Amino acid sequence: MKKIRIFAFCLLAAVLASACGPASGIPGGEAASVRAWFDAPLPNTVWLPPSPCQIVAHGASPNVIAAFELSINGAVSADIPSPDTQGSLVTLTQDCGLSEPGNYLLQMRVRDNAGEWSGYAETSLVIPSGGTSTCTNQLDVTFEDPLQKTYMTPGQKFTKSWTVQNTGTCTWDEGYRLVFRGGPSMSEGGASMGAPLDTLLGSLVSLPVLPGQTVIIPLDQTAPMEEGWYVGAWGLNTPSGEAVTITHGTDVDSTASFYVDIVVKTGTPTTTGEIGGAVFADQNGNGLQDSGEGPLAGVDVTLKGCGPNATKTTGTDGTFQFANVPAGSCTLEVSKAGWGFSGSSPSLGYPLPVGSNPGLPTNVGILMAPMSDNLPGPSFGAPQLSTGLVYYGGTRCDPNRITVQIKAEHPDGIKVMVFFHRLHELNGNKDSGWSDGFSMNTDGKGLYTLSMSGDRLAEASGFTTQAVASYQFVMQTQKGEFLRSDVYSDLYVSPCGSPPPPAPGVTTTPGIIWPPIIIVTPTIPVPH
């Protein structure tokens, strides 16, 4: 593993929508020049009327795409003219037209203006009888950032984020939505603070979110122009429009919400707050305060963003205190020769976002680890794959999904982990090049997980034959540095119906540097 410079960055406006929803089959024989594939619905999607049943499909050809043909359970349902009469790569969005309970096989093929047809792309849909799902939808807001009764100036832009865990048994995928529940509105659009009232979850986080996984949901908002106290309530809805139950410890509330809570004032606030806490020595560098790890003296703690920058140095008790702090949103940074930031309680990231609230002092515990070669530093564990062979191009071959996990740590904290891969034909010379990357979900304890279909792994390559996949993990630290894992080549990606390839051998290549990373780093990082 080595640290490298990143020479190019690209902010992709649609990165979440394009990167985080799995897609179904890329059909056609090995020689096919016309291709069709589904983006939605995902294979085995459970759809509950009356929510929209939407098909998103694509057609590609060296020639112009002329038409799409949709079949349901083997019978042609619709012959649809191409929505782009001049395009050779066309996206079709179409209502599925289904409402009765049952299991449905959806097939799509396309025809170009030369009369050539693609093979059939396939996906599947289930409409349960009774209109109820067999899984449970439940979440826990495990931590909310300090934007609570934060003072804002009129029209000030800010990002509110919630750390949310999927504590139910349903997988959050396409169709789950962040929705506005309500709140006292003192002016037009005040309670929602300029944010959309209904937003696809997939535009905010990486999908799917599996049971047990935790994600950070960011929401860009703007403070109302009128002075006052504003509280906006938000929640998560299923594709059928049902509210996801929110739990708080042992309490369960189907109507509970998570909140934005600000005070808008003109001019400079005259009220002040307090920000304090303590710094502890994280001797083993694990990001936790273990038994025997006491206060750390001589740490410079710098407060920024609430009035002029100020610095306090911790004494033997490790404590620090800032008084008479103008109300607002601030950050804390720590510095001590030979030591580096390793974590905080609550877990806030770095620099540490804190709030100065006159009515509620902020207290935070900060961990710092000695920076020596014999202590845990930046590291990647060995990746774990649910399978060494994954199929694409159909739902009848199993396994057609893969889950990838890796443990990682960094003394500065990890902002985001991204999975990159490339495919190379097993019996040929074609190489897909490196993907744009897939952001991984974290459990908050250093374990990163990504689940995806074989179709998603293969879709950008255009391959129709067996391939070996090389993959690499890239972390971005809380301080903005990028580090890479070794490159692994122990995974086969094979079209459905192909004979099993030979058992893959594990191959690793340390320190490979490939073209610049395309990654997103907004206030709340949601790269792909």
CATH 2.60.40.1940 positions along the chain are: 379-509
The reported pLDDT for the residue numbered 312 is 94
- Is the CB of residue 416 less than 8 Å from the CB of residue 476? yes
The reported pLDDT for the residue numbered 321 is 92
CA distances from 214 to 107, 308, 441, 476 (A): 34, 36, 7, 18
pTM for the full predicted model: 0.34
Radius of gyration of the chain (CA): 25
Does the N-terminal peptide bond of residue 218 adopt cis geometry, omega within 30 degrees of 0? no
The reported pLDDT for the residue numbered 69 is 94
Torsion sign (Cα): 17, 20, 25, 28: positive
How many CB atoms within 10 Å of residue 131?
12
CATH 2.60.40.1940 corresponds to the domain 379-509: yes
Tokens of 283: 């001797």
Determine phi and psi for 131, rounding to 5 degrees.
Answer: 70, 25
β partners of residue 208: none
The reported pLDDT for the residue numbered 51 is 62
Residue among 291, 477, 502, 239 at smallest CA distance from 377: 477
Q: Please name the residues in contact with 8: beta carbons below 8 A apart, sequence gap of 6 or more.
A: 516, 517, 518
The reported pLDDT for the residue numbered 67 is 94
The reported pLDDT for the residue numbered 241 is 80
The reported pLDDT for the residue numbered 184 is 52
In CATH, what class is 49-131? mainly beta
* Separation between Cα atoms, residue 271 and residue 358, nearest integer Å: 6
- CATH homologous superfamily of 272-342+356-370 equals Immunoglobulins (2.60.40.10)
DSSP helix/strand/coil, 515: coil
Per-residue pLDDT tens digits for 41-58: 777 777 776 666 778 888
- From first to last of its 528 residues, the chain has per-residue pLDDT tens of 322 222 222 322 222 233 333 333 333 333 347 888 887 777 777 777 666 677 888 888 888 999 999 999 989 988 999 998 888 888 888 888 887 888 889 999 999 999 999 999 888 888 876 654 567 888 887 544 444 556 677 888 877 878 888 888 888 888 899 988 776 543 444 567 888 888 899 888 888 888 878 888 888 888 888 877 777 778 888 888 888 888 754 444 444 567 777 777 776 555 678 888 899 998 877 777 777 888 999 999 999 888 788 999 999 999 999 988 887 778 889 998 888 888 887 766 678 888 787 766 778 889 888 864 433 445 788 888 888 888 888 667 888 888 899 988 887 788 888 888 888 887 777 778 778 788 888 887 788 988 888 888 887 667 778 888 888 888 888 776 778 888 888 888 888 877 766 654 444 444 433 333 333 333 333 333
The reported pLDDT for the residue numbered 459 is 78
CATH 2.60.40.10 positions along the chain are: 49-131, 138-264, 272-342+356-370
* Separation between Cα atoms, residue 30 and residue 476, nearest integer Å: 39
Residue with tokens 């009469």: 85
- CATH homologous superfamily of 138-264 equals Immunoglobulins (2.60.40.10)
* Separation between Cα atoms, residue 117 and residue 68, nearest integer Å: 10
The reported pLDDT for the residue numbered 265 is 75
